[in-house]
Structure 1
Amino acid sequence: MHTHHFSRRAFLRGAGVSMALPWMESFNVWGDEPKRDKPASEAPVRLCVTFSGNGFHSQEWWAKGEGKGMELGKVLQPLHEFREKLLFVRGLYHEEARKGNIHSSQTGNMLSGAPIASGGEIRSGTSFDQVLAQTYGRSTKVPSLVLACEKSNPSVHKNYSMLYSSHISWSSPTTPTPLELYPALAFDRLFKDEASPADKSVLDAVLAEARDLKRDISLNDQRKLDEYLDSVRDVEKRIENAGKRGELQGWRPTLEKPNIKRPADGIPQDIGEHMKLMIDLLVLGFQTDTTRITTLKLNNDHSALRFPNLPSVQQAGHGIDYMIHHLLSHSDGEDWLKVNQFFIGQLAYLARKLDSIQEGPRTLLDNTMLMHCSSMMAGARHDNDQLPVIVLGGAGGRLKGGRVLDYKDKPERQLCRLFMSMMDKMGQHPKIFGDAKMMLEEV
């Protein structure tokens, strides 16, 4: 086996295209220098924050016990296989989110804990993912990838802009980070030097250099490179096919006039495929080290999504498309629970993909902090005196799962304390963030 040492990150390059390589044992992909307490080729810690609006079923968001013996409420059942890598955090909240109105004021500071401006003004706070992107993210081609599966809402609700309900990532106090809704454009951002229509496959553009590289790496790395190139091709084909179906690519007129009745409001029909495509791109971004920081907003708070893909329990023979997500959240019925499990199922799909990718002694999930959150505990009450928060993954061995941490009756229970702990595991050590002045020591 040949051993290579690079002073900067390694890329495969073609005409107008660059692709960062996945973690390999044969050379130092990440470009860091060897240290006594950190091997030179140790994979970096990644951060992914996923969000779903309007909270969860009020009786079924819970966890108890530890390790393999951890028990999960029905909402979290899709994550049963990952309970040893799951940190359930109870009782944290944002004081500023309890002021103002519901929805907008509860979401606009989700990742910052900052005060929210009313009266049409847009002002919140820089979210912790973007604080990391401005420092930790500079070492990658894309400092942060901000994905969404429901478009931003520009209207006003009870004297507050609904832009707050549509964005969790903020680049500055007055700038919500632009959302990428379309898988093809997200793919371009990750793998093309210029986000423009391509006349050839990203993969084809770099195959020649990939063949040269294979001669100088170990057999294990050759297999890893082949698997990676296959996964890139698979996503390319799926995006191309989605475009042919008229889905996921935005509006593409193919007729002079409609030949079907107007469909229900919302994003393209197959919301499950949309979410999975975004997750696949997210994983590729991490796998190639093209980005280390991602947020994925599965829907808005005050969401208008419908779920015809999910069979209704309450209305037999129909999908759950008789009511938008926001209104459905006002009850604790069986369909609401089913929608909750659908969202957590996307998180399980993401965790499963991350956990299937080996990076030296750990998996990609072991090297990631994957936090899922919502702006309220239960949509039926719009209550946010405590917020639903879970963290999956190992942060490169710095985070221990299989635990329940309860801060409900403790005086210092700011959610920003968790953010400080997560930033610390990525090498950033703020003295203060939002309304917090210290980390959560247990995390």
Structure 2
Amino acid sequence: MTPHRLNRRSFLRGAGVTMALPWMESMTVWGDEPKGREPGSEAPLRLAVLFAGNGFHSREWWAKGEGKSMELGKVLEPVHDFRERMLFIRGLYNAEALKGNIHSSQTGNLLSGAPLASGGEIRSSTSVDQLLAQHYGRETKVPSLVLGCEKSNPSVHKNYSMLYSSHISWSSPTTPTPLEVYPALAFDHLFKDTGSRGDRSVLDAVMEDAKDVRREISGRDRQKLDEYLDSVREVERRIENAGKRNELQGWRPTLSAPNIPRPPDGIPQDIAEHMRLMCDILVLAFQTDTTRICTLKLNNDHSALRFPNLGVDYMIHHLLSHTDTDDWLKVNQFFTDQLAYVARKLDAIQEGERTALDNSMILFCSSMLNGNHDASQLPIVMLGGGGGSIHGGRVLDYLKDSQRQMCRLHLSIMDKMGLKLAAFGDATSKLEEV
């Protein structure tokens, strides 16, 4: 086997396109390996944060037991198959989220634990994902990917900016990380060297380089490369079809068809398709090592989304969250199903002896326990093996712990990804059990 010509970081290249390759056993992709270890024997560790606004059903968010015997509340039924690789974490909170008002002051510091400025001023703190992007993301084409399925809200609610409700990722104390809600632009951000979409398929642009790579890799890796290229083509096709159907951003228009020309990059009207596209892009980003850090905000806190796909179209998400009805549970399960979808897709990607899910940490959370704004404890689930560092199938209960800061979990996550800090936010020690 002839070593691939790139021994540091491998890409497919074409006119205006740079596409990262997936993990392959027969290539040294992840950097210089220690002596005695086979080249490319370990894939990188990834972090994904999936956020669902307004909390969950007050009686159906729970887990008990361990391993195969773990029982789950109805909200978590979609991830039942992953319970042995799941941590259900109870009792963590952000002290600063109990100050100020509801929604905005409970969301803008979810990933930092920072105090938030009021009076319409914008001030939080750099979030854990962006600290990792500054440290860990330097080895990838895109330091971090920040996705959303609902546009930012710039208004003010009870003396706090609603930008706090719209953003969990912060690049600096005064800068919420731009949220990409357009699937086509998120896709281009991963695979194109410029922001312009152009008329040529990403795959068409790099196909000649792909043929060269196929000649230099093993038969097993050729199959993996073909599967990956097929998945990229499928996402391209779905984005193109969404645009051709003249579909607009996640609200129901008053006209049966737009009365203006379609924008170049459409967003599906169907929220289910929108979320699935963003989940697919997250998985592609991890599969190609284009980025190792991604936040996906499924909706805003104080969300105005509706769910006609579920037969729940009579009330917006925020108002529905106050009801604890069967419809609210149905919406909760729809959000949890996005977590299960990402987990299944990552688990289907084999990376040596592990899968991409084994090599990832997925943090699924909200800024309040339920729709009555209870932020005294946060709903938190973690999926994935953390590169072999996380033992799943457990319930971790910190509710009676005097040191139950959410930032202790952030310190644990950063520690596993090689960023070791003495303190973060209001925490000075990590959670040793994670």
TM-score (norm 1): 0.93
State the Cα distance separating 1:178 from its structure 2 match: 0.3
Give the secondary structure class of the aligned counterpart of 2:308.
Answer: strand
Match of 1:148 in 2: 148
Task: Find out whether 1:360 has 2:352 as its counterpart.
Answer: yes
State the match for 1:320 in structure 2: 312
Task: Return 143-152 or 32-41, whichever deviates more.
Answer: 32-41
1:427 corresponds, among 404, 418, 431, to 418
Corresponding residue for residue 262 of structure 2 = none
**Contiguous gaps of at least 5 residues in structure 2:** 260-266
* C-alpha distance after superposition, 1:200-228 (max 9, x if no partner): 11101111111111111100011011111
Query: Is contact 1:29-1:41 (8 Å) kept?
Result: no
Contact 1:182 1:248 in 2 (8 A): no
> Contact 1:182/1:250 (CA < 8 Å) preserved in 2?
no
User: What's 1:77 paired with?
Assistant: 77
The CA deviation at 1:31 is 1.6
Distance 1:433 1:5, change over 3 A: farther
Q: Over the residues paired in the alignment, what is the CA RMSD in angstroms? A: 1.9
Contact 2:10 2:21 in 1 (8 A): yes
Whether contact under 8 Å (1:14, 1:205) holds in the other structure is yes
Indicate how the Cα distance of structure 1 residues 122 and 332 shifts in structure 2: closer, same or farther if over 3 A, else same: same
Match of 1:316 in 2: none
SS at match of 2:281: helix
2:375 maps to 384
CA positional deviation for 1:260: 5.9
Q: Output the CA distance in 1 between the equivalents of 2:141 and 2:76.
A: 34
Identity of aligned residues (%): 74
Residues 178-327 of structure 1 aligned to structure 2 (within 5 Å): 178-247=178-247, 258-259=255-256, 268-310=268-310, 319-327=311-319
TM-superposed CA distance for 1:396, in Å, is: 0.6
Q: Which residue does the alignment assign to 1:416? A: 407
Contact (CA 8 Å) 1:184, 1:249: kept in 2 or not? no
Matched, 1:439 2:430: yes
Change (3 A) 1:107 1:115: same
Is 1:2–1:218's contact at 8 Å kept on the other side of the alignment? no
Q: What pairs up with 1:44-55 in 2 under 5 angstroms?
A: 44-55=44-55
Gaps of 5+ in 1: 311-318
Relative to structure 2, which stretch is displaced further, 410-419 or 36-45? 36-45
Cα pair 1:111 1:127 within 8 Å, conserved = yes
Matched residue of 1:60: which SS? coil
Q: Is the 8 A contact 2:367 2:378 kept in 1?
A: yes
The AA in structure 2 aligned to 1:219 is G
Deviations 1:144-192 (A, max 9, x none): 0000000000111000000000000000000000000000000110000
1:346 maps onto 2:338 in alignment: yes
Contact 1:64–1:71 (CA<8 Å) still a contact in 2?
A: yes
Q: 1:342 to 1:85 in 2, by over 3 A?
A: same
TM-score (norm 2): 0.95
Deviation, 1:32, is 3.1
**Which residue type is aligned with residue 394 of structure 1?**
G
The CA distance in 2 between the partners of 1:87 and 1:191, in whole Å, is: 33
Partner of 2:167: 167
